[in-house]
Structure 1
Amino acid sequence: MLIVLAALCALPARAQLLAVTLDGLDGELRENALAWLGDPPNTPQARTNYLYSARRKVEQSLQALGYYRADVDLNLKRAPDTWTLSITVEPGEPVVYGNVDVRISGDADTDPTFTKLLQQSPLKPGEVLNHAVYEKFRRSISNLGQRRGYFDGVFSEARIAVEPVSGLADVSLHYESGSRFVFGPLSYDQDIVKPGLLEPLLQTPVGEPYEQQKLQETQARLQRTGYFSTVILRPQANAATDGQVPLTLDLFPAKRHSINVGVGFSTDTQERVSLTWRTPRINRHGHSQESRLQYSRINPSGRVTYNIPLSDPLNDVLQLTARVEDNEFGDLDSIQQELGTRREIKRGEWVRSYSLRALNESWKAQGLDRENDYLLPGFSLSQRVHRGALVNPTGGFSQWYRVELGSQELGSDVDLLRLTADYGFIHTLAERHRLVFRGDIGAVFLDAGERDQLAPSLNFFAGGNQSIRGYSYQSIGNEATFIADDGEEVTLVIGGDRLLIGSAEYQYSFNKNWRGALFIDAGDAFDEGQFEASVGAGFGVHYVTPIGAIRLDLANPVTDDNPSWRFHLSIGAEF
C-alpha cells in the first residue's frame, strides 16, 4: 500500500484542459459572469459542455443585472495540452425600469407596515433593472404577509416585461393579501407552573391581529424567567378556523438546581472565589432562590435571595434577602448582618423599588469598637438606555437614585436620611473615539451629636477602580482622632456624610478588542463643609471580552504631596 501511495504522489499533475480569459467586463458584471461560467473543466467531456454553454451563460449573467444588449465574442485556440478560450464582451447600455406597477389589495392595503415597505421599494423608474433586487423585493412582500398573518396572500401578477430594443422593463407586482388572521386560543401544559402565572408574559391575546414578532417576544419572555430550559411557541396555521390561528406552547422545565464556581481578581478586593447555588423554580408558584458565598481578603460575604413573583414574573417581584459581609472601609473593619425585603417593579426603561432592611453593623479600629442597629425603609428609581451591546455600548445614559431613612421611634439607633445618586454617560464621537463620563453624589442628614454613630456602610468613601483611581479602595474619607489602647492618639479615615465624585475618560479603539484610555477622576468623601478634592489621572489599556472589558489602568494621585503611580485591574461592563 505504501508503495502504491508513493507512486501516485510521484505522478505529474494533470495538465489544465481549458484556460479562460474574460475581457470587457469589470466589477459586478465580471464577478457575475465568472460565477455563471463556473470552474474550468477537468475532463474532455466537461470541456465540450463548457464551450457549448459559455456564450449563453455570459449572456444570462449580464441579463440578470439588466444588460440585455451585450455582444459576446468567443475565440478558441486548441493546443496539444491546454486549449485557450478568450471571451470578449461589449455589455452595451443597460435596460432600466419603465412603468412600475406595485399594488397591495385586501386588508394589507391599510396596514402601515406594508405602506412603509412600498415607500422603501427599490423598483423605481429609470433605475437599472436587476432581477435579484426584484426577486428580493417580491419575497419581502410575501414574507411580510406571512409575518403579519395574511396566510391567504398570493400574487395575482408578478412579472417583468423586458423590451431590449427600447431598453425598458415594465414591472407588474400585484399582491392580494386577503383577510388578516388573528390569534386563536393557546394550549400548553400547566403542570409546570400554576395557571395564570404566565399570563402577563403572553403577548398573543385571542382576537388580536396575528403578528410573528409577538410570538418571538412571548417566547423570549418565557425563556427569561429561568423556569424552562426550552420554550417553543408555534402557530398552527393549517388548523386555522374562522380567521383564528391556534397556538401551541411546548415548555420543557429547567434543571432544578445549578451550582457555579467562579474565581476573579481586582485591585480593589484582591483575589476572590465565589460559589453560587441557584434554584430557578422551587414550586408551581414560580418562587426561586439564589445563594452566593464569596471569599476575598478584603470583603468575604454571603447572601441568600428568595424571589416571589407578584403581578408579573419578570417585572414585579418581591425579594427576601439575608446577608452577612465583612468589609474594610477606610481604617475601619466592619461586620454587617442584614435581613431585608424589596419589591422591584419594571416599567419600560424605568425600574423602581420599595425596600425595608434591618441592619446590624459592628465596626472596630484602634481605639474604636461600636455596634448599632438600623431599620431602614427605602425607595429607589433607575433608568438605563444604551445603543449597541450592553457590555460595550456605543452610547448610553444611566441614572440611579435611592433614599433611605431611619428613626429611633421605628427601631433604629440613629435618626437619619440618606440620599444617593449615580450617573453614567457614554458617547461615541467617531468610529474609534469614545467618551465615558461618571458621577456619584451622596448625602446623609443626621444630628451632629450622632455623627459618630453612623456605621461605615452608611458613610461614604472614595478611591478605587470604580471611584477615584490613583487611590486605594475606599481610602478617601473624613478623618477623626481617637485614643488607642496604648493611650496614644491615632487618626483614622472614618468616611464622610457627603460624597461628590466625577470622572471623564477618553477611549481610542485600536481594533475590535483593544483600546487605550486617558482619564481623570476627582472628588471627595467628606463631612459637610469640609470638601477637599482628590484628583487621580492616568492612562490604561482595555481588552473587550463578551462579559465586559478587562481594564488595566495606571493612575497617579496628583493632589497628594508625594504622588506615586498605582495599578488598577478590573473586569466588567462600564455601564
Structure 2
Amino acid sequence: MPLKSRAIDVAINGVDSSDIRENITLFIKQLDLPVSEFDVDDFENKATNKAQKAIQAFGYYNADIDVMPVQYAKNGDFTLTLNITLKQITVVNRVILQADFMRSSNEQTQNMPQKLLSVIEQVRAMQGKPLNHDLYESLKGQLSTFALLYGYFDFKFLLHKLIILPNANGSASEATVHWLFNLGERYRFGDVEFLQETRGETIAKNVKPFTKGAFFDQSKIGQYSIDLASTGYFDNAIARANASRSVDKMVPIELILQPKPKDSYQLGLGFSTDTKARISFDWRRPWVNLEGHSLGANVYLSNPRKALSLEYRVPKANPLNDFLNYRISLKRTDENQTQSDNVSFEVLRQWGAEQDNDWDKIGFVKVEQESFIQGLQDKRTTRLVMPGFTYNRTRKDGDIFVNWGDRQQITVQGASESVLSDIDFLKVMAKTKWIRQFDKHRFTLRADAGAIATSDFTRVPSTQRFFAGGDQSIRGFGYNEVSEFEMVEIDGKLEKELVGGKYLAVASAEYAYRVAEKWRAAVFIDAGSANSKFASDISTGVGVGAQWLSPIGDVQVYVARGESSFERSWRLHVIIGPGL
C-alpha cells in the first residue's frame, strides 16, 4: 500500500546532550522517506545505522538503539522514536606518532613553527582522554595546512588511522591514534622577482617583511601584498610564492605590480557636532620620479576652519612609515572668539616603528606666521621658528571596529627670540587613549595634558594655546568653549572672553555595554580645564549615549550635561568613525 509521507519527526529518549540529539536528527533526515509499507522496515534499519554513526562522532561506540514502530499522522507526517542508551564513552588509550624530525637532530625541531608544535602536542595530549572526533579531524587538517603555510613543501602524510576497539562487555571502547608523516626540510625565502612592471622596484624591496634566506612563512607573503598596496604607489599589488620553481630549497617570490595613474583624486564628506558639515578634497601625484617621490595637495572646508596644504614626500628606508616631508600650509580659523590666519612651512622626518609595539619617531622644523584676534584683544602677528619632535604609538586589533587598542603621543616644540622668533616659546603636549573590551563590556579611558612656557603669553598664537570642550574633549560643551577667560562689560552686560590656557588637563572614562548585535549603550564622565594654572577650575561633562556598529564604522550619539563655575549646559554630540 503506498504511503503519502511528507515529513518526519524524530523523537529521541535517553540522550541529554542537545548536540548529540541534533546530530542524530540531522543524519536521519538525510534519508529518503518510505513510499510504501514494504519500505518501512528498511527505513528503520537505515535510521538505526545513521543514528549509530551520529552518536559515534561524539565517541560513543557501544550505544544501544531501539527503534519503536513508526507512528503516522493523518496529514501524512510520521514520527520515528528512538530509545537510546549511550553507555561509556570511548577513551584514547594510545597515541603513536612517527615523523622524520623525531629521528633527526634537534635543529629541525628548534626551527619548527609554534603552531605545528602545538598540533603535535595536542595530538599527544589526546591519550587518556575521551575521544573527540571533531578535534581529531581538526588536528589532522591543521597538520597538513600548517606544513604548507610554513614552507614544508615536501610534506607527506603517509598514514593517519583512528582504530576503535569496541568492548562487548559494556565497558568503554578503546581508541588508538596512529600517524606517520614526513615534514621534510623547511624551505626559505628566495629572491624577489618582478614579472611585469619594474617601476617601484626599490620601494617594493624596502617594504618586504622578510629577508632572503629566512624560513618561509606564507603569512608574510600576504602581509607583503597588503603593505605594497598601503604605500599608495600601486593600484594593484600581488606577491606570491612559486614553490615549483624553488632551487636549493629557496622559494622565489613573484611580484605583479600595477602602478597608480599619474594623478589621483579623492573627495571626502563628514559631519560632527564640533565642525558641523565638512568637505575635503585630495589630489596626489604618486610618481614624480622613479624613486617614488610624490606630490600632493589637500583642501579642507568647514564652517569654523578652512585649510589648504601642499606636500612633497621623499620615501626613505620603508615608504610606509619612513619618509621626509616638505609641507606648505594656509589655515583660517573663525570659531569661539578665535580669528586666525596662519601660514607655515614645515620640514618633517619620520623614522617609523620596525615592530608593532615600537614608537614612531618624528623630528621637525616648522616656520609659521599667524595673525590672530583672541576674544576682544587687539589683532597680533607672531612669527615662530619651532624645532620639535613627536613620539607616537598606536596598537589596535582592527581599523573600522576597535575592540582592543591604545594610542600614545608626546610632542615637544619650542622657539627662541635669538633664532628668528618673536617670542621665547616652549610647548609640551601628551595624549593617550585606551580601549579594552571584555565580552559585552567595553571600557574607554582618555587623558590629555599640556603646558606652555613663554616670555609673552599675549603673543602666543591662538592655535598654539590650550582650549578644551567638544566631542573628543569635555562633552557637554561646544568645541574649544572651555578655557581661561576674562569678564568684559559690553553694552552694559558682562560677557565671557576666552583667552586660552597655558595648561591643559583633561580626563575621560566611558563604559559601554552591548545590548544587541550592532548596538551598545554607554555612560561617561569627562573632566578637565585649560587655564593659567594646571588642573584648576575643573569643568565636567556627564551623560549617556548610543553606539551603532554601522557598515562604515562606529556611529556614536551622546547627550551630555556640562557644568563649570560659569555655566551649565546640555549638548548633543555625534561622532562618526573609528573609536581610536
1:526 aligns with 2:505: no
Q: 1:194 to 1:519 in 2, by over 3 A?
A: closer
Conserved? CA contact 2:33–2:43, under 8 Å: no
Q: Among 448, 451, 471, which residue is 1:443 paired with?
A: 451
1:56 aligns with 2:49: yes
What is the identity, as a one-letter code, of the residue corresponding to 1:524? Answer: S
Larger mean CA deviation between 494-503 and 102-111 belongs to 102-111
Shift in Å, 1:346: 1.6
For 2:399 and 2:392, the matched residues in 1 are separated by 16
For 1:276 and 1:569, the matched residues in 2 are separated by 25
The CA deviation string for residues 44-68 of structure 1, in whole angstroms up to 9 with x for no partner, is 4996875563343333333333333
> Residue 441 of structure 2 corresponds to which residue in structure 1?
433
For 1:295 and 1:82, the matched residues in 2 are separated by 69
For 1:82 and 1:559, the matched residues in 2 are separated by 73
For 1:19 and 1:189, the matched residues in 2 are separated by 59
Q: 1:220 to 1:451 in 2, by over 3 A?
A: same
Shift in Å, 1:353: 0.3
Shift in Å, 1:201: 1.7
Q: 1:203 to 1:454 in 2, by over 3 A?
A: closer
The CA deviation string for residues 465-504 of structure 1, in whole angstroms up to 9 with x for no partner, is 22222222222333358999x9x99873221222222222
Conserved? CA contact 1:182–1:206, under 8 Å: yes
Shift in Å, 1:179: 1.6
Q: Among 428, 435, 442, which residue is 1:419 paired with?
A: 428
Conserved? CA contact 1:226–1:281, under 8 Å: no
1:403 aligns with 2:412: yes
Larger mean CA deviation between 197-206 and 142-151 belongs to 197-206
Secondary structure of the 1:103 match is strand
For 1:442 and 1:18, the matched residues in 2 are separated by 73
Q: 1:460 to 1:87 in 2, by over 3 A?
A: closer
Secondary structure of the 1:555 match is strand
Shift in Å, 1:317: 1.2
Larger mean CA deviation between 107-116 and 265-274 belongs to 107-116
For 2:523 and 2:26, the matched residues in 1 are separated by 50
Larger mean CA deviation between 77-86 and 357-366 belongs to 77-86
Q: 1:47 to 1:265 in 2, by over 3 A?
A: farther
Q: 1:29 to 1:460 in 2, by over 3 A?
A: closer
Conserved? CA contact 2:197–2:258, under 8 Å: no
For 1:396 and 1:130, the matched residues in 2 are separated by 36
Q: Among 370, 374, 392, which residue is 2:380 paired with?
A: 370
> Residue 323 of structure 1 corresponds to which residue in structure 2?
329
The CA deviation string for residues 68-103 of structure 1, in whole angstroms up to 9 with x for no partner, is 323344455598967765544434333221111123
> Residue 97 of structure 1 corresponds to which residue in structure 2?
92
> Residue 495 of structure 1 corresponds to which residue in structure 2?
500
For 1:490 and 1:130, the matched residues in 2 are separated by 76
For 1:187 and 1:530, the matched residues in 2 are separated by 59
For 2:501 and 2:77, the matched residues in 1 are separated by 88
Secondary structure of the 1:327 match is strand
Q: Among 498, 512, 520, which residue is 2:517 paired with?
A: 512
> Residue 59 of structure 2 corresponds to which residue in structure 1?
66
Conserved? CA contact 1:461–1:474, under 8 Å: yes
Secondary structure of the 1:472 match is coil
What is the identity, as a one-letter code, of the residue corresponding to 1:421? Answer: A
For 2:264 and 2:224, the matched residues in 1 are separated by 25
> Residue 298 of structure 1 corresponds to which residue in structure 2?
304
For 1:354 and 1:529, the matched residues in 2 are separated by 27
Shift in Å, 1:293: 1.6
Shift in Å, 1:547: 4.4
Q: 1:398 to 1:58 in 2, by over 3 A?
A: same
For 2:535 and 2:127, the matched residues in 1 are separated by 73
Larger mean CA deviation between 300-309 and 167-176 belongs to 300-309
The CA deviation string for residues 250-290 of structure 1, in whole angstroms up to 9 with x for no partner, is 22233444333333322222222222333444442223344
For 1:209 and 1:509, the matched residues in 2 are separated by 43
The CA deviation string for residues 373-401 of structure 1, in whole angstroms up to 9 with x for no partner, is 22111100112234x43554334332211
Shift in Å, 1:335: 1.0
For 1:139 and 1:243, the matched residues in 2 are separated by 24
For 1:51 and 1:156, the matched residues in 2 are separated by 39
Q: 1:71 to 1:213 in 2, by over 3 A?
A: same
Larger mean CA deviation between 407-416 and 281-290 belongs to 281-290
Shift in Å, 1:112: 4.9
1:566 aligns with 2:571: yes
For 1:572 and 1:293, the matched residues in 2 are separated by 20
| TM-score normalized by the length of structure 1 | 0.87
> Residue 470 of structure 1 corresponds to which residue in structure 2?
476
Shift in Å, 1:435: 3.0
Conserved? CA contact 1:427–1:434, under 8 Å: yes
Secondary structure of the 2:203 match is coil
Shift in Å, 1:247: 2.5
The CA deviation string for residues 275-319 of structure 1, in whole angstroms up to 9 with x for no partner, is 233344444222334422222211122223332211111121112
Q: Please list, as runs of the form range in 1=range in 2, the aligned pairs for 1:7-406 lying within 5 A after superposition.
A: 15-16=4-5, 19=8, 21-24=10-13, 25=15, 26-39=17-30, 41=32, 44=35, 50=43, 53-74=46-67, 86-106=81-101, 108-110=108-110, 111-113=112-114, 114-121=116-123, 124-165=126-167, 167-189=173-195, 191-328=197-334, 330-347=336-353, 348=355, 349=357, 350-364=359-373, 366=376, 368-386=378-396, 388-406=397-415
For 1:319 and 1:434, the matched residues in 2 are separated by 38
Shift in Å, 1:163: 1.3
> Residue 11 of structure 1 corresponds to which residue in structure 2?
none
Secondary structure of the 1:272 match is strand
Conserved? CA contact 2:94–2:128, under 8 Å: no
Secondary structure of the 1:197 match is helix
Q: 1:83 to 1:408 in 2, by over 3 A?
A: closer
Shift in Å, 1:342: 1.0
Secondary structure of the 2:87 match is coil
Shift in Å, 1:530: 9.6
Gaps of 5+ in 1: 1-13
For 1:375 and 1:390, the matched residues in 2 are separated by 36
Q: 1:248 to 1:457 in 2, by over 3 A?
A: same
Q: 1:508 to 1:67 in 2, by over 3 A?
A: closer
- Percent identity, aligned pairs only, is 27
Q: 1:60 to 1:271 in 2, by over 3 A?
A: closer
Shift in Å, 1:192: 4.6
Residues matched between the structures, number = 557
Secondary structure of the 2:151 match is coil
Conserved? CA contact 2:189–2:216, under 8 Å: yes
Secondary structure of the 2:144 match is helix
Q: 1:92 to 1:564 in 2, by over 3 A?
A: closer
Q: 1:82 to 1:229 in 2, by over 3 A?
A: same
Secondary structure of the 1:291 match is strand
Conserved? CA contact 1:329–1:494, under 8 Å: no
For 1:266 and 1:550, the matched residues in 2 are separated by 10
> Residue 3 of structure 1 corresponds to which residue in structure 2?
none
Conserved? CA contact 2:195–2:254, under 8 Å: no
Secondary structure of the 1:149 match is coil
Q: 1:112 to 1:264 in 2, by over 3 A?
A: closer
For 1:546 and 1:391, the matched residues in 2 are separated by 9
Secondary structure of the 2:379 match is strand
Conserved? CA contact 1:368–1:482, under 8 Å: no
Conserved? CA contact 1:367–1:482, under 8 Å: no
Conserved? CA contact 2:504–2:535, under 8 Å: no
For 2:342 and 2:274, the matched residues in 1 are separated by 19
Q: 1:355 to 1:511 in 2, by over 3 A?
A: same
